[in-house]
A and B are shown apart, each in its own frame.
Chain A
């Protein structure tokens, strides 16, 4: 067979690549090692007699910076203290699906992320996650973690997961643009609409908000429901004492729809914008407001202008300006795990030592669901980030202004219905009443299936 030039070059390329790669493969492993963190060295808490144990821990996809932060803040300090417990930490894309397949096959990691709080009930009912009440008692987690956060990870009164970060939905605005125009942060519905209209008149995007993935609609639903219907009404509806079809909820969505029609919300382009995109727009100064949460604290270095952050304005007389709060992800232990005790030890470790948690927040990780003395935040941390976190902490202490994020407090199917079908409302395919009727049907079913509102 005639050997052609193309074939030779192809072979050369493969050989060259293999050689380069063989040379690099060795170094790729060292990329994971980091210099030690600034935390004080803990004396190892295990003795040489302890059996070596491996705990596999699967998290969702992380950027390399985030993964480094995890290693420095949680994994390595833990390994130093408990050398006999090896934490195999993996960040897996599509973690939810992959872990599900493994669990159903009787395998699966010892510890894994539960990114959707709504999933917890299904996993608990299927007997896939371990009962954590013994550990709650053993380590006194109910004294460390926020009680509402711990309640959010209970199913039928039993704890099946440990809440991880907690968060709040806040309103961010471009302070420079506000100052330039002499605008003030809106305090009520009229001011809100007024400032949005003026922003639009100046060719700004009034609110940068991306919901290409409809799940992000949970944010806008959180803002409007809590600030129009009010937290008290939401609680009533979720306890079955009021209906989602009641006027206050209608009003919330009607107002939302009006704002959509007026083009205030991303110029009606939410379906074409990812959360990445909306941030880009905000950072480039093309938008006045953006819907984001307290998690933006990790991004403040990327914001090139003065920005303001505060609570979404009250949209109805008598409803205080409310900040929806909730928990982010939670962590569960595999029921068939052989290293459950070691895994629980790790969970406990993450939650203790305020100093280390404060530093982890400084590294960009989410604040855990417990109080942390603000004085412990590292000096190197951007004061704007500290400010956001302080707002978060203070809100939680202020029940009058606390609201409910859909992903934490609403039953899973209802939440899903609400965000899945919001586009149909915006695009005029169904009316607000039809939308809410459908939601109420799902809520009725959820209540019948045993959903109980977290707070008493």
Chain B
């Protein structure tokens, strides 16, 4: 009885989410087997969408870009956020000021941040002008968005600018949880700074780190705003990621059936990755 009553604690969150998000999303299952333009009647086409997905080179390129994006975001913001959080725990004065400054970009709406950086990146009117003026002509000649090798990184830079402050705030919250007595015990044992960090701090904040990792992996497939606002997946597919590709299929090309199968494939893959991690967990790492 007590167990049942306790389970009810979860019900509001679960029910709210299930009925508003999951149920409607189940339509993906249906539409992924149809040819549908999003307007009229869907026409059943069995596995056509799925076989098309396997041959779709643009989709594969988008997945490739998404994986690059994922790697960037599994490293830079997490390391930066943790590093700065650690620095801040040792900074008493002006900690508030720093925290506010680092966090501010998170609050700027994507539309505005995207537009702002687009102007910065503008080869004629942006930062390039300034570089030229101070004599750094080599830098002044770089086109961030126009160059297909740099574009993805240029956009990732903006999303990172927006995101890592938030990671830092989460790390701060997690770090404050770390039991100070454990640190004291470790110091008495003669453990150096790095040793303490590795064996006391990291394990204690592991749940937060793992959640961030999980979220980054799955989130990379859904991230849309910055890429769409800044490059729309161009030039020539250099910044095309999973979500922008699916959006284009669904809304611009009116191939909503195919887009549904793409979404479903990605969603199921993410779930598979999670389950695989769970299996790993049974043999060690605390998630």
Residues of A within 8 A of B (CB): 97, 100, 103-104, 119, 122-123, 125-128, 205, 212-214, 267-274, 277, 280-281, 286, 413, 416, 423-424, 426-427, 429
Contact = CB atoms under 8 A, between A and B. Distances in A.
Given A126-B39, A126-B41, A274-B118, 10 more contacts: A97-B251, A100-B39, A125-B40, A212-B231, A271-B145, A271-B235, A272-B121, A273-B122, A281-B124, A429-B236
B40 A122 contact: yes
A75 B208 CA distance: 56
Interface in B141-180: 143-146, 148, 151
B277 interface: no
Interface of B: 37-41, 118, 121-125, 143-146, 148, 151, 231-232, 234-237, 251-254
Given A126-B37, A272-B144, A272-B145, A277 B122 contact: yes
Contacts of A281: 124-125
Contact of B40 (A126, A205, A286, A416): A126
A123 B37 CA distance: 10
A123 B151 CA distance: 36
Contacts of A429: 236-237
Nearest to A128: B39
A100 B256 CA distance: 13
Nearest to B250: A97
Given A126-B37, A277-B125, A281-B124, A272 B236 contact: no
B264 to A, nearest CB: 20
B130 to A, nearest CB: 16
Contacts of B118: 212, 274
B218 to A, nearest CB: 24
Contact of A416 (B41, B125, B143, B253): B253
Nearest to A281: B124
B236 A423 contact: yes
B125 A280 contact: yes
Given A122-B254, A205-B124, A423-B234, A271 B39 contact: no
Contacts of A274: 118
A104 B125 contact: no
Given A269-B123, A269-B146, A274-B118, A104 B237 contact: no
A97 B40 CA distance: 15
